[in-house]
Amino acid sequence: MSLRNIITSPLAITTIALLSLLLNACGVGESDLTLPSKRPEGSIHGNVLGGLYSGGKISAYTFAEKETRQFIANADVQADGTFELDIQLPSQPLLIEVSGGNYFDPGSFQTVTPEPQFVLSTVLLYRSGETHETSITPLTHFNAGLLLYLQNTLASPISETLIKQTSQKIGNLYSVNQIGSPITLSYQDQPRKISITGDERQGLFINALAQIAYEERRLKEASLKDNYQLSSLTASLYEDIHSDGVFDGNAIFDNSQEIKPLAFGNTLINADFYRLLTAFALKKTLRYTPSLAVSDSEEGIETLLLDIAQRESDLIPSTDNDALHKSKPVISPITDFTKAKNGDTKFDFSVDNALILTSATMTINGLEYELELSDISKNFGNLLSISLDTTQFTDGVQQLDLTIKDSFDNIGNFQTDVTFDNSPPTLTLQSANLTNESEFLLQGTYDDAFSAIDSILVNGEKIPFDEKTGWEKAVTLSSGRNEFLIQISDVLGNKAQTTALVLRDTAAPVITLSDSPALTNNSQYLLQGTFIEGESDIRKITVNDKEATLEANQKWSKQVALNKGENLFTIGIEDSAGNYSEYATSIFLDDQAPLISVTSAALTNSPTFTLHGQYEELSPGENKINVNDIPVETMEDQEWSQPVQLVAGKNKFLITMKDEAGNLTAFYTEVVLDLLAPTIVLNSPGVSNSPLF
């Protein structure tokens, strides 16, 4: 970025009274000029206000007062501020004047249409048949008035040397190098209107005096404090204008002719200009004629100005202007730099002891930014406002260094730390997103590194917050999904938001147990089954308060150790919302083989035989007894029987008994079928004589 010297802005155009002061000395008449026969044709081209002016008319006159000057030629000023005049004249000084049109004011960034009496002019030493280039600005206008004054009052011949000398002198007064450069006359207050009685020419100069008086008072109050002493006349003029806006010119002039009100603003330029303008004003109004003869040398012009100023010492400030020219500008912050800044921010400063600001440079963390007119929203009086896009800088504490330079090359500096914060604050949710309760507490924390929090809203309602404990909001939930928009904003307007989703699930999950025997003879057993989850995920499944394994496809399992006899199990299931359900079951461990015996005879002579015996049930459930894999027909009162067919000889039978737990008892038994009658052998004699035989 580059800062265009503020002294090159055309704001002076609006100071109608001051600019008209000098040119009205020469008038605006247009009388016909009878041109001689054909002469070599020359041309004059240039621009008005460096191209910021458009429209209006550019006119050429002979160099003389209004009453005696002659019109030569005119042309339109183009949209880009340029003009061209074709002229056939002998070599002579010409007055080139522009009127009407409008101009762009870079101070307010607006196009301004000046009042009807507005004119700007310049003096050109025309050389027949040649092409001339010039520029018209408030400074050339001032110079034209001075040259008319020198020619008409002191009979100074107009030469290129004199034009250059007066231009340089005026340029020095304004601290510019080229008189063709535009000048800024800035406004602090709204322009006022005053009514002045007296001769029109005299009234214009009194208007200038009033302007000076107003400015001297403002300068005293704003810049020089108690070191600046107002002259008696300017103090009186100021009081008259400040009180009712009317100054009576009859106190000085004999005639009384009221002229139309003229606008004026409180122009801020250096004290040399006040001194010079005051002297010229008195010269015209009081008919003062110095005895000093003026040559067309630089020394002669300067001597004239000093002589006039010294003779009118009553209007010359008693302060030492050199001290003012060498005073270092003092910058004081108006903006509160203790608070963080963001976005497009305006930084306001008060500037003392600076008459014309010519440059401003802002350095932030070592990076230098020369400020353009678009960065400086206002620059007049002792107020400096700078607009800055803070988003181009890193958030956090940065060092700001502002350096300004006035028209006398005095440098002022201001340093401070400024915090930039263009980042939104952060929100953190700490509450759960799932519950089975209707009353719920939304809560969380927040953070903003560089700014204080302005507000936190839940669904548009402001809630309290504390930097230590965070924020919370009690809400009532409906079944299903509940959405809450949480918004946070810091004091700079940085904003963030998040949406909290809270699911209220009141449906309990369902668990099932896969088919399993109520009896087992295995002390290690795998309980398993399935589950059905609702809107919430399953948090855990427990078997007698010990977590089971959750498997894919909504299955679960748990290995358990059984004790002999009945084993009771409570299977619980809980989802993430806190809903709970349970299922109870029991498993009987029987690891003892059943008892069975055979009580039937082991010998028989009948092929039809009934095996029978007794058994003892050691566990609940069904017991099965088989004889040679054939279930027995009768089991009652712990007795059993099974008819069988025998064959002669030994008959072998496998007796088995199996309980429901799977325990088995097996053994063989034999039954002998004997169909042969026993044989008796008699060995005693057939005859005996003994009574005992």
pLDDT tens per residue, range 450-504: 889 999 999 999 999 988 888 999 999 998 899 999 999 999 999 999 999 998 8
Asked, for residue 443, whether it belongs to a domain, the answer is yes
φ/ψ (deg, to 5) at 347: -105, 120
Judged against a pLDDT cut of 90, whether residue 85 lies above it is answered with yes
- Same-domain pairing of 38 and 149: yes
Q: Give me the CATH number covering residue 534.
A: 2.60.40.10
| Measured distance CA(338)–CA(212) in Å, rounded | 40
Asked, for residue 682, whether it belongs to a domain, the answer is no
Judged against a pLDDT cut of 80, whether residue 569 lies above it is answered with yes
CA–CA–CA angle 90, 92, 93 (5° rounding): 150
Tokens 């700490």 sit on residue: 430
pLDDT at position 358 is: 66
- Same-domain pairing of 585 and 611: no
Beta bridge partners of 110: 105
Report pLDDT digits (tens) over 408-436. Answer: 678 889 999 999 999 999 999 988 888 88
Asked, for residue 44, whether it belongs to a domain, the answer is yes
Tokens 């034999």 sit on residue: 670
Of 14-23, 102-111, 358-367, 682-691, the one with minimum mean pLDDT is 14-23
Report pLDDT digits (tens) over 366-376. Answer: 888 776 544 45
Asked, for residue 428, whether it belongs to a domain, the answer is no
Judged against a pLDDT cut of 80, whether residue 355 lies above it is answered with no
Asked, for residue 688, whether it belongs to a domain, the answer is no
**Strand 383-389 vs strand 344-352: parallel, antiparallel, or unpaired?**
antiparallel
Report pLDDT digits (tens) over 397-406. Answer: 999 999 887 6
Residue after which a domain boundary falls, among 538, 556, 589: 589
Q: State the average pLDDT over residues 508-529.
A: 84
Judged against a pLDDT cut of 70, whether residue 6 lies above it is answered with no
Instruction: Calculate the alpha carbon distances from 678 to 605, 673, 675, 681 in Å.
Output: 12, 14, 10, 10
pLDDT at position 302 is: 42
pLDDT at position 326 is: 62
- Same-domain pairing of 265 and 345: no
- Work out how many domains the chain is built from and give that number: 6
Judged against a pLDDT cut of 90, whether residue 442 lies above it is answered with yes
Report pLDDT digits (tens) over 111-167. Answer: 777 766 667 788 999 998 899 999 887 667 767 777 776 676 666 678 887 787 777
Asked, for residue 265, whether it belongs to a domain, the answer is yes
Instruction: Calculate the alpha carbon distances from 401 to 334, 437, 454 in Å.
Output: 15, 59, 30
Judged against a pLDDT cut of 60, whether residue 606 lies above it is answered with yes
Residue with more model confidence, 597 or 274 = 597
pLDDT at position 499 is: 93
- Same-domain pairing of 124 and 24: yes
Give the sign of the dihedral formed by CA 552, CA 557, CA 558, CA 559: negative
Residue after which a domain boundary falls, among 570, 589, 608: 589
pLDDT at position 459 is: 94
Judged against a pLDDT cut of 90, whether residue 44 lies above it is answered with yes
Considering only CA atoms, give the Rg of the chain: 59
| 8 A C-beta contact, residue 341 and residue 390 | yes
| 8 A C-beta contact, residue 514 and residue 554 | no
- Same-domain pairing of 104 and 84: yes
Tokens of residue 109, six digits: 């960034």
User: Taking the mean position of all CA atoms in its chain, how far away is CA 601?
Assistant: 109
| 8 A C-beta contact, residue 583 and residue 513 | yes
Report pLDDT digits (tens) over 195-252. Answer: 333 333 333 334 444 444 444 444 444 444 444 444 443 444 444 434 443 333 333 2
Residue with more model confidence, 265 or 449 = 449
- Same-domain pairing of 464 and 580: no
Instruction: Please give the share of the chain, as a percent, with pLDDT higher than 90.
Output: 19
pLDDT at position 294 is: 30
Non-local CB neighbours of 182 within 8 Å, separated by 6+ positions: 8, 9, 10, 12, 49, 50, 52, 137, 138, 139
Residue 84 CB burial class (10 angstroms; 0-12, 13-18, ≥19): middle
Residues making up the chain, counted from first to last? 693
Of 34-43, 314-323, 675-684, the one with minimum mean pLDDT is 314-323
User: Which H or E element spans position 17?
Assistant: helix 16-23
Judged against a pLDDT cut of 70, whether residue 192 lies above it is answered with no
Instruction: Please give the share of the chain, as a percent, with pLDDT higher than 70.
Output: 64
- Same-domain pairing of 20 and 87: yes
| Measured distance CA(549)–CA(529) in Å, rounded | 11
pLDDT at position 357 is: 61
- Same-domain pairing of 170 and 253: no
| Measured distance CA(262)–CA(60) in Å, rounded | 26
- Same-domain pairing of 155 and 50: yes
Selection from 671, 648, 547 nearest residue 599 by Cα: 671
pLDDT at position 17 is: 29
Asked, for residue 278, whether it belongs to a domain, the answer is yes
Contacts of 478-485 with CB under 8 Å at 24 or more apart are 478/504, 479/504, 479/505, 479/506, 480/504, 480/535, 482/440, 484/442, 484/458, 484/459, 485/457, 485/458, 485/459, 485/460
Beta bridge partners of 434: 503
Non-local CB neighbours of 462 within 8 Å, separated by 6+ positions: 455, 456
In this prediction, residue 365 has a pLDDT band, given cuts at 50, 70 and 90, of confident
Of 112-116, 288-292, 443-447, the one with minimum mean pLDDT is 288-292
pLDDT at position 489 is: 94
Q: State the average pLDDT over residues 287-306.
A: 36
pLDDT at position 40 is: 56
Print the domain residue range for 207: 188-324
Beta bridge partners of 386: 347, 376
| Measured distance CA(489)–CA(121) in Å, rounded | 57
In this prediction, residue 109 has a pLDDT band, given cuts at 50, 70 and 90, of low
Report pLDDT digits (tens) over 158-188. Answer: 888 778 777 766 555 444 333 333 322 222 3
Asked, for residue 348, whether it belongs to a domain, the answer is yes
Residue after which a domain boundary falls, among 324, 355, 382: 324
Give the chain's mean pLDDT. Answer: 70
- Same-domain pairing of 308 and 454: no
pLDDT at position 229 is: 42
- Same-domain pairing of 49 and 101: yes
- Same-domain pairing of 13 and 117: yes
Judged against a pLDDT cut of 50, whether residue 63 lies above it is answered with yes
